[in-house]
Amino acid sequence: MHKRFSIITIFPEMVNAYMGCSILKRAIERQLISVAVHNLRDYSVDKHHTVDDYSYGGGPGMVMKPDTFFRVIEAQWPKKDNIRVIMLSPRGRVFSQSVARELADESKELVFLCGRYEAIDERVSEHLADDEISIGDYVLTGGELPALVIIDAVSRLLPDVLGDSQSAEAESFSHGLLDYPHYTRPEQFREMSVPKVLLSGNHEAIRKWRIKQSLKATIQKRPDLLESYSLSVEEKLLLEQIKEEAS
Ligand code: 9D3
């Protein structure tokens, strides 16, 4: 299985820098994914390669022109079939692990439209994009980092992208609780020691300790996650223990 991503941006070098490192670089080399980066400016027809203009109705900031976005899509995908066009926008639905799974299961090529300046002409979201996604409620300077965030989260869910030692599922958020604490050598570091149970060799005790620590961390740091999480019988029991110990 090979997943194709394309990114339309006026800053191709930003995207190439990230894709040229670490796990995603390896995934490209192993032909598990491909990432094509298109410079939006190449599709502007005027002599200054203009991609933005003043806002009709006035107001601060420039608006990205619709025509260059339409032209790049029509030039690269003339029939516009087998692609899902995703516009990155603060007005989009909010990205999450479940949206990442949805996009990993999508068989179509994912084409990301990245904006800069104050806005993109509304006709792009209305008539060119299939989907509009935000990565959260904070203000960035453009859609490039959001596109990379999405490609990163989707790619690691694809078969074979992660090594055996770090399979995508066994982690925080994929099952709804926060991760338990992790330790490595040395056993003692500047008076700070590793919890005894982890050195005991008692696998059942370690498993229970980890579930309990996950529950504790979630209650303490992200109680909102626990609301929408359905506890197993064992987890309910351990949660009762935590409450008893606290009282
Ligand atoms: C005051 C109006 N601003 C909206 C909050 C204008 C504006 C600021 C920054 C419009 C776009 C941007 C650039 N941001 C993105 O393109 C963007 C984004 C983001 O800023 N946060 C979270 N997700 C995303 S996806 C694209």
Q: What is the pTM of this model?
A: 0.96
- Whether residue 88 has its Cβ less than 6 Å from ligand 1: yes
Span from the CA of 185 to the centroid of ligand 1 (angstroms): 43
Here the tokens at position 43 are: 């599709």
Ligand 1 pocket, 66 CB below 6 A?
no
pLDDT at residue number 238: 98
Which residue owns the Cα nearest ligand 1 atom 18?
90
Contact 6, 112 (CB under 8 A): yes
Name residues whose C-beta falls within 8 Å of residue 24's C-beta, 6 or more positions apart in sequence.
18, 33, 35, 151, 152, 155
Instruction: Return the ligand 1 atom nearest residue 146 CA.
Output: 25
Cα–Cα distance measured from residue 209 to residue 197, given in angstroms and rounded to the nearest whole number: 8
Pocket perturbation via mutation, ligand 1, pick of 140, 144, 149, 151 by most ligand atoms within 8 A of CB = 140
Which atom of ligand 1 is closest in space to residue 114's alpha carbon?
16
How many angstroms does the Cα of residue 92 sit away from the middle of ligand 1? 10
Q: What is the pLDDT of residue 172?
A: 47
Q: Is 246 in the pocket of ligand 1 (CB under 6 A)?
A: no
Low-confidence ranges of the chain (pLDDT < 70): 165, 168-174
When the pLDDT of each residue in the chain is averaged and rounded to a whole number, the result is 96
- Nearest atom in ligand 1 to the alpha carbon of residue 135 is 23
Order across the sheet with 33-39: list the strands.
33-39, 3-9, 109-113, 83-94, 131-134
**Domain range 172-246, CATH architecture:** Orthogonal Bundle (1.10)
Q: Distance (Å, rounded) from C-alpha 124 to C-alpha 121?
A: 6
**Å from CA of 201 to ligand 1 middle:** 50
- Say if 3-156 and 172-246 have the same CATH topology: no
Ligand 1 neighbourhood includes 12 CB (under 6 angstroms): no
The CATH number of domain 3-156 is 3.30.465.10: no
pLDDT for residue 83? 98
Q: Where are the domains of the chain?
A: 3-156, 172-246
Q: What are phi and psi of 114, to 5 degrees?
A: -105, 130
Give pLDDT, residue 153.
98
Backbone angles phi, psi at 12, to 5 degrees: -55, -30
Residue carrying structure tokens 């949206």: 99
